[in-house]
Structure 1
Amino acid sequence: MKAKRALQYIDKFESYVCQVLLGFFVVVLFMQIALRICFNYVIPWSEEISRFSFVWFVFFGAAYAARLAAHNRVTIQFKLFPPVVGNICMFLSDIIWIGFNLLMIWKSLEVITDLMEFPYISPSLGWSMAYVYWIFPISFSLMSVRIIQVNIMKYWLKIEIKDVDKIDPDDLEPLPESH
């Protein structure tokens, strides 16, 4: 099915984006430290671009963590009730989470619109901050898709979501093919 294949591509895309952003800002920071210590030279834009790439890394990572059902939650209180009560409570909390994400998408698009009308330029790179802020609607949209995906896998397709501390993300089972 096309939707399943698209979600698998998003899995890989998020993973690769996170890896590239992490590698990029680590290399830039290492280069900055090495140049400062060895040659007493400072790259003016290195701190700013590493900060932007770190923020993008964190927000893409949050969307990827939503796919892995790896966000921290307090669930001990659900152990006192039958599993169906815990599942209903978790589902309702995911609905609230999606509502929060939608609010964040809406408000971040308002901020981006304002930044397009009244530009704020980053000091070192000279970039419009409107472009940097696009990570907010992108990541909260991806997170919402991932929350929905995990709930479909868990409640509709009856796929057990394994503890991410005990599995390798590359070993995630693809969505089952329907014939």
Structure 2
Amino acid sequence: MKAKRALQYIDKFESYVCQALLSFFVVILFLQIALRICFDYVLPWSEEISRFSFVWFVFFGAAYAARLAAHNRVTIQFKLFPPLVGNICMFITDIIWIGFNLVMIQKSVEVIIDLMEFPYISPSLGWSMAYVYWIFPISFSLMTIRIIQVNIMKYWLKIEIKDVDKIDPDDIQPLTESR
């Protein structure tokens, strides 16, 4: 039971990171607005850190969407084919997507190496942008892992991946319940 719950938490890692980042940048932006309106005071670093956390939020959200098989992509043409042909086409597009992710991982690591050799410092926080750019190889690696995971679940383990657009919100179980 504990192992299953631990796996559920690991499986929802991106969701938890997204929730934390979203909460963080909303609080920072609220604080910035409240201080500006009420006290005529501006936190010089608040805009920059909220922007960085928003970018990290978006890229972790993309990895989470890959886990849910919920990425925006055109799939209507695959539904016109017989199920076997549609599944083969979806699998081929996932292979192409993984190839794209691998190129993005390689190129983003190259950029990070360049930023370490020739540092670019953020103006307000004084952070090396190399650290901020780590989100790219992290998120594209997580996306690749999640795409592979979804394909294993779908084609090897024969687990039905439900379309997130067609799930009734009342059917979503809280995390505390075992599935």
TM-score, length-normalised on structure 1? 0.89
Q: Distance in 1 between matches of 2:46 and 2:20?
A: 16
Unaligned runs of 5+ in 2: none
Match runs of 1:19-34 below 5 Å:
19-34=19-34
Deviation at 1:5, TM superposition (A): 8.5
| Structure 1 position 73, deviation (Å) | 1.7
Q: Find the aligned partners of 1:150 and 1:174 in 2 and give their Cα distance.
A: 20
CA distance in 1, matches of 2:178, 2:160: 12
State the match for 1:51 in structure 2. Answer: 51
In structure 1, the partner of 2:120 is 120
Contact between 1:98 and 1:147, CA under 8 Å: does it hold in 2? Answer: yes
Whether 1:75 aligns to 2:80 is no
SS in 2 for 1:159: coil
Amino acid in structure 1 at the alignment position of 2:85? V
Q: CA deviation at 1:9?
A: 4.2
1:163 matched to which residue of 2?
A: 163
2:146 maps to what in 1? Answer: 146
Aligned to 2:88: 88
TM-score by length of structure 2 reads: 0.89
Which residue identity does 2:14 align to in structure 1? E
Specify whether residues 170 and 14 from structure 1 end up closer, same or farther in structure 2 by C-alpha distance, changes over 3 A only.
farther
User: Cα distance, 1:126 vs. partner?
Assistant: 0.2
Aligned residue for 1:145, secondary structure, equals helix
> Percent same amino acid at aligned positions?
87
Give the Cα–Cα distance (whole angstroms) in 2 for the partners of residues 115 and 161 of structure 1: 40
* Equivalent residue letter for 2:75: T
Give the counterpart letter for 1:109 in structure 2: V
- Tell me if structure 2 keeps the 8 A contact 1:18–1:60: yes
Equivalent in the alignment of 1:137: 137
* Number of matched pairs: 171
| Separation (CA, whole Å) in 1 of partners of 2:97 and 2:6 | 23
CA RMSD in angstroms comes to 2.1
Is 1:14 matched up with 2:14?
A: yes
Q: 1:110 to 1:6 in 2, by over 3 A?
A: farther
**Partner amino acid, structure 1, of 2:111:** V
